[in-house]
Amino acid sequence: MPGRSGDSSRWVRGASALALCATVALAGCATVEPADPYAVEPIARHLERDDNVGYCARLFADIDRRVDALAARDAEAPRIAGFPYLRVDRLAAALAPRAEFDGPARKAWLARLATLDDAGRTAELANAMLPSDDLARCRVLLGATDAASIDSLRARARVPDAYSAGARVIGLYPVTQLLVAANEARWQEETRAVFALPLDQLPVQGRLTRFGVRTAWPVPEVALPVPGDPLGLPVLSRLDRTALLVRHAPLLEVDVRAAYDRPGELGLDSTGLPVVDPEQPVAYTRVTHALFEDGARLQLVYSFWFSERPARDVLDPLSGRIDGLVWRVTLDKDGNPLVYDAMRPSGRNHLFFPTERVVARPQADTLDERMFSPQAVRAPKRDEVVVLRIESGTHYLQRVSVEPRAQPAVRYQLDDDRRPTTLPSAAGGTRSVFGVDGLMPGTERGERHLLWPTGVASPGQMRQWGHHATALVGRRHFDDPHLLGSYFALRPAASTAKAP
């Protein structure tokens, strides 16, 4: 990951070394599209049936052809080959073993796959301006018809890896990873140095401005732990979800030098490219889960978007339109934070901030990117808030602190992070800010020409949930539900009680 002060010059110096290894055109690095889900059993045998099952299979196939023709495919959760009326994400794939036997767990798992498909199709149908008639009924009918194919469904409910093995082969990855790993090590050293500075010694280029969640305090208490569903996932009411998102929303302390340092609302310009309105501060949120030790843990995700990352010089490979910060809070069963982590919406700059409730697991001594934690964070009390200090221009995190809650200078509102998949378009109707490949068009970075041998699609480009590969050396996905458990373990209760 590029460093802080020497971003441009170091990457320009490294370009010639990587170019010696990358001797094949970038076109050869494209990932292979998954097989046509309608050419795989059991859906294939339904298409010729002269009954309601055949009608439903053809209805889904027709809708998908029209959606694809209009480039309106929603890429967050892929369709399942042979079962295109269902979709899967990494959490659902990890839960598949719990659906091995018939009963409540299987029904809950199938319902999750159906919900993912419904969410994706809701955006697709809106953007393609297609009716949704009969799709819900047909999803139920096809699911009942294919009930005996549960073993095949479980085997196929997998999310494609975000890394291209072909690109790594073509890019001579065993060699290029040495260069990338060395650069990542330098970035980590520079980041540690920044986090080691006293807060009052961090440079300020503009004016420090605080952005906090727009709400009235106090917010309702959420009684945790809450009951779990048959898959073991905590079940929250809409009110509880909102209360937790508000309670743990971070306070941003941004060094604001220009409009590009103000978090804003995503939209589409007259050409259909994404833009950010800094006059409307927004945090886009979602609630998901980590599978950690003795059960599932709630995770609260906040995505902030900036209009651009301005160039530091003419050769800056990290600059470009649209930038951002993703902040995630993993809660223990009692609702207190276990670990915070953050990344850019491109998947870059993945940082971990553990609380006193966890201890780091030993990591294998390899070149693969390991858990990088420049700072630990004390879990905040009820009347406290986590403050994120953010650098001007680069939007790098510089410090995470805990302070008494106070009114911010500027307030941001919370919004669902699915909303940017259906935004008003100047051409009429709605469109998504993300492409059918899960990447945000117009946000490409120059570093992609250097880092494609890592196997990551267009490194540095902003992307949709489910497409965040966060390691350039090795493999790591931000939405991997087992990620937290691979890096941390719960601290024994007695140790936690004595922690400062």
Predicted confidence (pLDDT) per residue in 87-130, tens digit: 999 999 999 999 888 899 999 999 999 999 999 999 999 999 99
Flag whether pLDDT at 346 surpasses 80.
yes
Predicted confidence (pLDDT) per residue in 394-428, tens digit: 999 999 999 999 989 999 999 999 999 999 999 99
CA gap 317, 314 in Å, rounded: 9
Region of residue 395 (left: phi > 0; alpha: psi -120 to 50; beta: else): left
* Dihedral sign computed on CA atoms, order 214, 226, 333, 89: negative
- Is residue 118 classed exposed, middle or buried when 0-12, 13-18 and 19+ CB atoms within 10 A define those classes? middle
Query: Tokens in use for 76?
Result: 């967050």
- Is residue 350 classed exposed, middle or buried when 0-12, 13-18 and 19+ CB atoms within 10 A define those classes? buried
Predicted confidence (pLDDT) per residue in 459-496, tens digit: 999 999 999 999 999 999 999 999 999 999 999 874 55
Q: Which helix (H) or strand (E) holds 320?
A: strand 320-331
Give residue 31's pLDDT band: very low, low, confident or very high (50, 70, 90).
Answer: very low
Mean pLDDT of the chain: 92
Share of the chain above pLDDT 90, in %: 86
What is residue 180's predicted lDDT score, i.e. its pLDDT?
A: 97
Paired with 255 in beta bridges are 208
Predicted confidence (pLDDT) per residue in 148-204, tens digit: 999 999 999 999 999 999 999 999 999 999 999 999 999 999 999 999 999 999 999
CA gap 193, 279 in Å, rounded: 33
Predicted confidence (pLDDT) per residue in 229-273, tens digit: 999 999 999 999 999 999 999 999 999 999 999 999 999 999 999
Query: Tokens in use for 278?
Result: 């800094």
Give residue 216's pLDDT band: very low, low, confident or very high (50, 70, 90).
Answer: confident
> Which regions of 188-294 does DSSP assign to beta strands (E)?
207-213, 251-256, 265-268, 274-277, 282-292
What is residue 211's predicted lDDT score, i.e. its pLDDT?
A: 98
Residue closest to 469 by CA, chosen among 478, 460, 461: 478
What is residue 4's predicted lDDT score, i.e. its pLDDT?
A: 56
